[in-house]
Every structure is written in C-alpha cells, then in structure tokens.
Structure 1
Amino acid sequence: MTPDSNRVVEFEELRPLLFSIAYRLLGSVSEAEDAVQETWLRYESSPTQPESVRAYLSATVSRIAIDVLRSARVRREAYVGPWFPEPLLADPYEDPQRSAELADSLSMAALLLLERLSPLERAVFVLREVFGFGFPEVASTVGRSEAACRQLAVRARRHMDAGRPRFEADRAQREALAVRFLDAFRDGDLAALTELLAADVQLVGDAGGKAPNWGEVFAGSANVARVLAALMPLFARIGARVDPHEVNGQPGAVFRDRDARVLSTWAFDVLEGRIQTIRTITNPDKLAHLAPVADAWAALREAGQG
C-alpha cells in the first residue's frame, strides 16, 4: 500500500469523528462536511506524516470550524426568525465509552446552548467534555495555554450545566410517547394531543423567511394542540405523510409530500411523560442534505391556504 493510499484509509476511518466534531461546533451538516473535506485537502498536501493522525486531523477540523463559526455568528444575527441547527438524523460516530456525552450534546436544545458560547469556549467544551480530549491536545488545537483552556472549560461547563435540558431517561418511553403523539396528530385528535403536551409546551418554527411559517412561537398545551389539529387537514390535502424518525438523538418526525420530498422535520423534547418542546424546521436550505425538498409554498397553495 502506498503512502497516499495509507492516508486515504486513515482519513476515512476517522471521517465519522471529524464530522461529529465539526457538526457540534457549527450546527450545520453542510458546513461540517465542507470542514471535513478541507481537512482532507490539508492532510493530503502535508509534506510530513503527523505522529498522531487522530490528533492532527481533529485539531485541523476544529480550527477550520472555529474560523467558519466566527463568520457564521455574524450571519446568524441577521437570520429571519428563530435559528435552529440543521437536523441530523443519525450521528456517524459512536464511542461506547462516551455514549452519554455524545447523545446529550447532539440534541437541538444542547446545540442551541452551545450557540451562546464564544467560539473558543465552544471548541474547548466540545473537544474536552464531549469527545474526551486531553487538555494538552485541546490547548494545541485552539492555540491557548492549558491553564487558559481549563478556565474556558470551567466557564463553558458552568453555562451548559445551568441551562442543560432534561430529557426522559428511558429512550423507549420517549419513542412510545412520540408515536402516540404522531398518531393523535394524524387523527386530528385535539383531546389526545392536549393530553400528551406539557402545560407550558412550546412549538417553535425555523423557516428562515424561506418557507411558510404558522408563527414563530406558540405556547401552552391548549394553544399548541389547536395549532397542530388545524395543520393536519392541510397535510392531508397534499397527500403528505409523517415518518417517525429520531432527529438529533431525540424523538421526532420527517414530513414528506406525496412524492417523498421533504417538507419539514420535527424534533421533540420529552420529560415526565409529556412533550415539552416541538421544534420544526421548514427552511429548505436546512433540509437539502436529507433528500429532495418540496416546494412548501406550492404545497400551501395546493392545500388552499396560499
């Protein structure tokens, strides 16, 4: 095997890890994939072989993501309406020893908390707390001393702990509740929907000004249930289907039109047997990596609401 082919094999073995790091830093599937590709180009053109390929590639993708994040934050300040991360249906990286950290850090709620950190705090937290890198590696990656990185980690951990979302511990219970909820939604059963929603539930939508939005935020079980019950007939008129699917490690669904094009994703936060938050994404730019995307405006006109 040639040196170049060795590099290809090594890189492909680490690709899932690199993507998972970049996605948690950027909250964007497309930007994470771009960061991974740029990492490969730098590795491929490097004249020397690093002592630790894993450390070198992880540091490289993190630095690239930090640079992208700094410019992305400016764009997100001008974003129309609530901003959510691009939905991720499956994390390609698995580590049994860190499964809890990986799962917790993938949820929409956790990624939105990460958005409040500075780029350096975010990088230190993700590398140290989520992926378990040592402080020497973290310091080398972000270009700060180990002492400074420890301080960054403490600040980031304090902030994340203060706002850390709580979820139903039992995955099977979460999934079962989501199935019941989606069945009630399909049936337009207002009473069943209300029963499955927390009293202070929130329904929040990210359309980015590029798709129909039935309001950015609805709150309260009665209000949210009425909105949901009113939506189902619209979906039925366009032959839409609801596919239950894990979204960012939490129960959710992918909505498709009759031609299997994606209309939206929904992600649920579940606690104490009730749905606490529903986050919907209809911005087509954030759905394009999943499958062909439906024209939501055309679907709305077909449903007689445009």
Structure 2
Amino acid sequence: MSRTIPTATDGARRTRHRARRVEPLYYLFLLPSLVLFTLAITLPGVIGIFFSFTDSIGIGDWHFTGLTNYIALFSDPAILQSYLFTFGFSVATVIVVNVVAFLLAVGLISRVRFKTGLRTVFVIPMVVSGIIIAYVFNFLFSNSLPALGDALGISWLQTSLLANPDLAWVAIVIVTAWQAIPGTLLIYIAGLLAVPGDVYEAADLDGASKTQQMLRITLPLVAGYVVINFILGFKGFLNAYDIIVGLTNGGPGTSTRSIALSIIGGFNGGDYAYQMANATIFFVVAIIISLLQLSLTRGRNQLS
C-alpha cells in the first residue's frame, strides 16, 4: 500500500491554517466591547441617519420628508460657510502643526543640552483640556495682548484678534496648533530616531551639507510619518469644537463657525433632522478621508 509523503508545501499550508485559527474564547472577550460599541455608537448613528429623512425636532411627532433636508443643505449659505471655514482651518492648522513639530523634533534629537527635559515641557499641552486652553488664550487675546499693544503703541495689537472677523481664525489656528504639536512631535521623534546614523556619516564623508541631508535623506526616510501626521491631523481638525467654543463660539457673527459647532447647535435649536442630515454628510466625508488614509499608508508600507 502506497503512502503519501508530506511535502514542505503541505507543512506550510497546515502552519498557515493554524496561524489563522482564532480561539473561540477570544470572541467571548470581544463581545462586551462589541455590544457597547453597537449600543453607544452604531445604533445611535443608524437612528440619526433615519431621522435625517424626516422633519423631527428631536421629540414629538415626525413625518418623512425624503431628501428635503439634504437638498436644503446644499443651498444653505451658513452650512456652506461652515464647511469652507472648517476645511480652510484644517488645512492651515495641519501645515503649521507639521512644520513646527518637525523642526522641533529635529532640534530635540540633536546634541542639545537638557533635551530630555525639553521633550517633557513640549508634551505638556497635549494633556491639558482643550476648553481650558481656549479660555486661557481667550483672556490673553482679549486682555493681555491689547494691553501690551497700548503700552507699546502698536495699533493693530490694541484690538483683540477674536473680535476681528477676518483674523479670528488665525487665533484659532494658533491655539489649536499649540495643543496639537506635542502629539505630532512625538511621532516625528520616533521616525527620526529610526533613521540609521550610518546614513548621515556616509553623507558627511561625501561632503553633504546639513540642508542637503535634511532634504535628500531625512525627509525621504520619514515620508511615511509625514503622510500619517498630515492625514490624521487633518481628519482630527475637521472635528474642531471645544477650542472654537472657548475662543469665539463661532463668532464674530458666523465667521468661525465649524461643522461640529453647527451640528451641535442645531440639535439644541430644534433643527434635529436638518443637522442630522448635515452630520450624515460629514460622516461620509470622514469615511472618504479614512479610506484615503488607508490607501496612502498601505502604499507607503509596501514601499518601505
């Protein structure tokens, strides 16, 4: 009687099968988190999308209105202004955050004194509540800086930035960047420390300047970290709410009214169904950005 001799391919196939097998006990541990996620996030989201096709005000009777809310959104100048502000603010902030964080990271991994202590100091804003930061900077912009402008005779500084419809967004960018830089800084430090030192030694022997090393060695080798920081930062800034509430509450007028501020304000103002349609569109935008993030980071990992 002939016997089948196991081959290396069969052994590898059995190994992969065992590696893919998941113990049923793992699903039992996953069940509580899955139930909580479904009840706290998925179910309310589905209910909200359902009510976006109605005229509900959050309580009481309601009727189906089809796509009426969605059609009205695209012709509402206040909603369009909130999207324009949010995307413009997010682009400006993500650029400021990444440029400053990258330069700080380069400085904090170089041979400077007290770099360990400096890293700790720069991380502090990350652990402070955004609303507290906003109220502190609100006092600075509204009182301290105008007083300093009066003392120095600087006319443009004598008026609070928060009261200027054309410049209030600058104050929001400054405060948001001040809080967001530490998290981005830590990612850049990790990326820069992963670059082999031999590469820079070889560049020194070839006579490359520090600027050339930065542009031709450092940036290409940490490009994956740059992509991740830009996409994660942009997606996070789209949800800007607490700092805007503490600084301007969407003013002056509606010049700094973000999408999140519009949605939450609508919930409290009787526009529940209308703002649920707005939230649904915003959710779709977030999904598109997340898919973009996955495609870019997956491609980056394959290249590296």
TM-score of the pair, normalised by structure 1: 0.24
User: Bigger radius of gyration, 1 or 2?
Assistant: 2
Q: RCO (CA 8 Å, sep 6+): is it higher in 1 or 2? A: 2
TM-score, with structure 2 as normaliser:
0.25
Which of the two has greater helix per residue?
2
In terms of fraction of residues, the more strand-rich structure is: 1
